[in-house]
Each structure stands twice: as structure tokens, then as C-alpha cells.
Structure 1
Amino acid sequence: MNVWLWALAALATLLLAAYALRAAGRAATAGAPAFRDMTFAVAFGYVLAAAALAGGVWLWVQPGAVFFRWAVQFFAMATAAAFLFRLAGRHVGTEATRKAFRQMPLTAAFGLLTILLYAVTAIFADILAPYGQSEVVGAVNMLPGGDPATGGDPAHPLGTDQIGRDLMSRLIYGAQNTVGIAFATTCIAFFLGGSLGFLAATIGGWLDNLLARAVDVLMAIPSLIFALLLMTIASAWAGNQQWQLTLYMVIIIAVIDSTRVFRLARAVGQSIVVMDYIEAAKLRGEGLGYLIFREILPNATAPLLAEFGLRFCFVFLTIAALSFLGVGIQPPLADWGTMVRDLAQFINFAAFSPLAAALPLMAAGAIALLTVAVNFVVDWMLHRSSGLKD
């Protein structure tokens, strides 16, 4: 009850402050348009932003707000890195790329830079990682930071896990495995769903109805639960062959996710096949393959590329979730979802040692950061393809 009273009192204070701000501004500026035309909602937004800023400053000086300070510092460094990356892109490269960087918002620059860093890490994981992904190299449960006084080791800057594997190496290899497998799965899903979608849109008739109804049935089932059910069955088929279970996971997720791609490809294809140039190609006697790959696909690239980013995020999160549940990417491969599961118990020690709680948060943060980055880039691509102006 006291919590609700405090919340109501805080809300009333903010509302009163917003009213006072607008009234004081109108009186002090003799009815200047900026205050005269200001709505109460805008004034409340200003007061709420000021209150949030004051609360952030207060939280920053609290001794126990370690994670908040880390988050603010990361945000500042990410903003600076995105600004410098966009600035460099405006002066390097072709005229088309320089124009794209000039029109690129800071969020898209951050997302693109993050994706590039993840891609480089995944491609050169064997070179960047100081140890093998399943190599036991030191004492167990070393804390990050590399300071022996706080339970760390300079040889393992991010610490070790419960069996003595280097966490920095596993994070790097996790980019190669988690991101690489998610990218391959998304490509398979797009090839399968896109091909069937364009085929259904071009041929139509009974084939279109059959494929559309089959996709409706698959989409009616929650995808994560369906994938978990099929992976449980596949684990019995795979037996002790861990690579087979990973292969089954790729096939299952690709088939499930291809239903979403099918719907988009079919809808876009149906809007293209009625165009005059498609009719002209049919009158010339062009075959089905020519119509799909030379006429429909080039005109459907923009929405498909944006959808590819969104589907990659869903596939990436699905693989991480299945690995967290123990039926995804299997050992000895390093995977971020598995790392979160193995290190989750350290969250209980956050009140005593923030560094201990940081162990599972590193893998979870890697998952969240890539998801946010891809969404930033996809939003920018959709904005560009829509032709809207800022």
C-alpha cells in the first residue's frame, strides 16, 4: 500500500511541476509562442525527462549501482564509436556509400558498426581467441577483471567458467557458432520460403491454395514450443551424435521460420505478377525460372532484405533459447545460450560481488546487443525503402 501511495504522490508532483513550468514560462516570456502553444503533455514530458536525469545522477553516485554505471559508460562509448564510424564513412568509399552515410542516423551507424565487429569476430575467431573453445586452461570460476586481489587472473581477462574454460575464448567462438549457425539457418529459411512463395504467387491456382493452407497450419502453432517439441524428438534420433542434433536444429528452425518468409514472398510476388512487364514476359514465352529470378526477385529485394534482418533476429534468439534449455547447439561447441545457462547461478551473488554477476551477463549482453543492432539497421533500411523523408 505504501508503494502505491508513493507512486501516486510522485505522479501528482510531476503533474504539478508540469503545470508550474508552463505557467512560469508563459509569465516570464510574456506569452512567447514556445510556451503559449505548449500543450500540457509536452510540459509533462519535459518535467519527466528532467526527473529521469536527476534520478540517473542520484543513482550514479550510489555505491551499489555498479551495473548502472557500466551501462552509462558503455552507452557513451558506443555513441562516440558510432559517431566516428559515421564520420569516417562520409569521407571514405564511393559516392553512393558516402551519400548513404550522410543520410544515416546515429542508431543505424551503431548497428552497422556492431554487425561488422560481430562478423569480423566470427570469421577470425580461431585467430582472435587465445584458447580453444572447450580447452580447460585454469582454475574454475575466476572472476573477470584480471585482478588477483578480486579473484581474477591476468591470463583470463573475462574469467573462467565452472570447469576452468576461458570465457573470452568461449565468447569469441560463441560469435562464430551462434551467429554463424543463425545466419546459415536464416539463409536456408529464406531460400525455402522465398522459392515456394514466389512459386505460389506465379503459378497460383491449387498449388497456391495448398501451400498457403499448409503454412497457415504451421503458423498457428507457437514457433518456440513447436521447435522445442521437435528438438526433443530429434534428440532421441541423434543419440550420442551431437553434430546430428545441431543439424536437426538447423533444419527444424529453418522450416518453421520459412513459413513467415513464404507469406511475405507470396504477398510481394502477387503484387508484382500483375504488372505489365510480367505480362509482356509471359507473352514473349519466358519460362517460370526467368519470371521468378529475372523479373520478380529484383523487384522484391528491398522488403526481403529488411525481412531477412528481422528473421535473423528471431532465428538467433530461438537458437539461443533452445541452447539455454539444453536442446540447441551442443558441446563441445561454445554457444552464448549455453553460457548463460551454465553461469546463471552467479546472478545470486550480485549483491556481494558485481563481477561475479557479470559472468552470465556477458553472454546475455552479447545476444541482446546483436539483436538491437540488427533492428536498428533494419529500421533504417525500411525507412530508406519507403521513401520517407526526415
Structure 2
Amino acid sequence: MSRSLSLPRFGLRMSATGILASLVILFWAGVAIVGPRFAPYAPGDIVDFDFYGPISDQLWLGSDYLGRDIFSRIILGARYTVGISFASVCMACFTGVAAGMSAAAIGGWFDTILSRILDALNSIPSKLFGLVMVAAIGSSIPVLIVLLAVIYTPGSYRFARALAVNCNTMDFVTVARARGEKTPYLILHEILPNIIGPVLADLGMRFVFIVLLLSGLSFLGLGVQPPDADWGSLVKENIGGLSFAAPAVIAPCIAIASLTISVNLLIDNLPIKIRDRAS
């Protein structure tokens, strides 16, 4: 029998797998926030005159194609990968959820027009849209954050609207509307508390999608630009040395995999129970 951590007061029950996944996520979050202060070398310093140098006491993961410390660059890359992805997913989910609940509560022409516009945007392949926009506008941190948020807002909108439409038909919403409550009250006090659990799970999934898309754009040379680098950029820079300097490529791949898999496992093992107000 697997052990689990229960917090009945908050409606949480976390398994050992969920605890392990949350520790990995907290580790990378901590690395992104304070890691660069403790990196052995500055990310741009050339510390090895032998490019693709081996693992040593001074270079824990070897050096890259210019002789820079891979370990230090992975630490700095966490700030870009985690930071950009987190900012984008928060922007996308806040916009999408707010628009979805508003469309469900207001209905009518507002719901129809907003849904058609976002459906049209959602029909464009995400990677193709990202490539075209970055090639047209140029790549920078603010552009990447806004672009990734725009790409994933329609999906968040559709998910939140589907939940809100079902919640909008419940008796407690009908009663609140009958007693004269306004739309903002219905959204904030009646609909949102009853869809917050699935919305948080959806936020975690979209965070994974954004990490993978950002890494893909960086691997194609359209993400974070030199001298800065996220984990996808590190793979692109050192892919030529895979046959004789594997850590330079494998280490950032492991970082991406550990973060995305941990977020998925945490979502699967952290059900958030929202009290059914209709009962």
C-alpha cells in the first residue's frame, strides 16, 4: 500500500509520487530564483581552453563548444526556461479563464463573437504561428512571453468556458441571478470557486506545453538569443558535440524532462476537491 500525505482540511491528498514531483519542481524554482548567485562561474566566461572538455572537479558537467561551464549555463538557463514559461502560462490562463467565464455568464452575441475569434486563432498550428511571429517581430524576452501567452489563451478559454457553461446551469447560479446579482458577482463568487480545481490542473498542463514550445523555438534559433540561453538553446549550441561530449547535450535535456514530467506527476497526484455547492 502506497503512503500518502493527507490534508483533509484543505481537501488535499498527495501521494509519495506527488511529494517527489513537488520537490523537483521546487528545486528548479529555487534554482531559477537564486541559482545564478551560487553558480561556479559566470555563464559567459570561457573557463576551458579545450572546447567540449570532459567532466572534472572544476567542471562538473564539462564545457561547451566555446569552453564555457555547462553546469553554470544550465543554472542560468533555468531562470529563462522556468521564468518565461511561468509568466506566459499565468498570462494565458488568467486571460483565457476570465474571458471564458465572462462568455458563459453573459452569453448571446458576446459569447458567439469571442468564441469564433479565439477558435480561429486556435486553428493555427502553435509552432508555425510562433515561428512566423518571431521571424517577423524578432525575439526578445517580452516578445516570447506575450507570444506564448497568445498561443495558449484560446485553449484555456475553451476549457474554462466549457466548465463555466455547465456551472452556469446549476441551481445556485440561477438563484443568485434571480435575486438580482450582477455578472461580476456571479463570475467571482458562484462560477470561479466551482471550477478552480480543473483550472489549476489545466494551468499545470499548459505550463508543460509552453516549456516544450519554448525549448523547441530555442532549438530552432528563434527563442532566447545569445549570449543568454535557456535549456533549448543549450541543446542547439552543443548538438554538434553529442558524439564526444554527451553531457553538454544530455544535461539540459534531462533538466527539461525532469521539470515537465514532475509537473505532470504532480497534476496526476494532487486532486483538489472543491465542495459541490449544488448539493
Which structure shows the higher helix fraction? 1
Which deviates further from its counterpart, 311-320 or 161-170? 161-170
Give 1:142 deviation, angstroms: 4.3
Is 1:120 paired with 2:33? no
Query: For residues 360 and 130 of structure 1, do their structure 2 counterparts lie closer, same or farther at Cα, with a shift above 3 Å needed?
Result: same
Name the counterpart of 1:337. Answer: 232
Contact 1:142 1:160 in 2 (8 A): yes
Contact 2:52 2:248 in 1 (8 A): no
Name the counterpart of 2:46. Answer: 136
Which of 154, 157, 169 does residue 274 from structure 1 map onto?
A: 169
Whole-angstrom distance in 2 between the partners of 1:297 and 1:143 = 54
Name the counterpart of 2:13. Answer: 100
Give 1:262 deviation, angstroms: 0.3
Which deviates further from its counterpart, 168-177 or 135-144? 135-144
Render the CA deviation track for 1:280-320: whole Å, top value 9, x for unaligned.
22233322222212221111111001101110000010011
Q: How many pairs are equivalent? A: 274
Contact 1:133 1:334 in 2 (8 A): no
Query: For residues 165 and 297 of structure 1, do their structure 2 counterparts lie closer, same or farther at Cα, with a shift above 3 Å needed?
Result: same
Query: For residues 232 and 279 of structure 1, do their structure 2 counterparts lie closer, same or farther at Cα, with a shift above 3 Å needed?
Result: same
Name the counterpart of 1:201. Answer: 104
Is 1:145 paired with 2:40? no
Aligned ranges 1:230-379 → 2 under 5 Å: 230-235=133-138, 245-349=140-244, 356-379=245-268
Whole-angstrom distance in 2 between the partners of 1:144 and 1:99 = 46
Unaligned stretches of 5+ residues in structure 1: 1-82, 147-153, 236-241, 350-355
Which of 1 and 2 has higher RCO (CA within 8 Å, sep 6+)? 2
Whole-angstrom distance in 2 between the partners of 1:296 and 1:139 = 61
Query: For residues 251 and 280 of structure 1, do their structure 2 counterparts lie closer, same or farther at Cα, with a shift above 3 Å needed?
Result: same
Give 1:249 deviation, angstroms: 1.6
Q: Secondary structure at the match of 1:300?
A: helix
Give 1:96 deviation, angstroms: 5.2
Q: Secondary structure at the match of 1:296?
A: helix
Query: For residues 160 and 297 of structure 1, do their structure 2 counterparts lie closer, same or farther at Cα, with a shift above 3 Å needed?
Result: same
Identity level (%): 38
Give 1:143 deviation, angstroms: 3.2
Give 1:276 deviation, angstroms: 1.8
Is 1:228 paired with 2:131? yes
Is 1:184 paired with 2:94? no
Whole-angstrom distance in 2 between the partners of 1:174 and 1:333 = 8
Query: For residues 268 and 159 of structure 1, do their structure 2 counterparts lie closer, same or farther at Cα, with a shift above 3 Å needed?
Result: same
Contact 1:122 1:172 in 2 (8 A): yes
Aligned ranges 1:52-63 → 2 under 5 Å: none
- TM-score, structure 2 as length reference: 0.90
Give 1:385 deviation, angstroms: 4.9
Whole-angstrom distance in 2 between the partners of 1:334 and 1:140 = 21
Contact 1:141 1:162 in 2 (8 A): yes
Unaligned stretches of 5+ residues in structure 2: none
Whole-angstrom distance in 1 between the partners of 2:234 and 2:28 = 17
Name the counterpart of 1:211. Answer: 114
Query: For residues 174 and 266 of structure 1, do their structure 2 counterparts lie closer, same or farther at Cα, with a shift above 3 Å needed?
Result: same
Name the counterpart of 1:353. Answer: none
Aligned partner letter, 1:136: I
Contact 1:340 1:363 in 2 (8 A): yes
Give 1:164 deviation, angstroms: 2.5
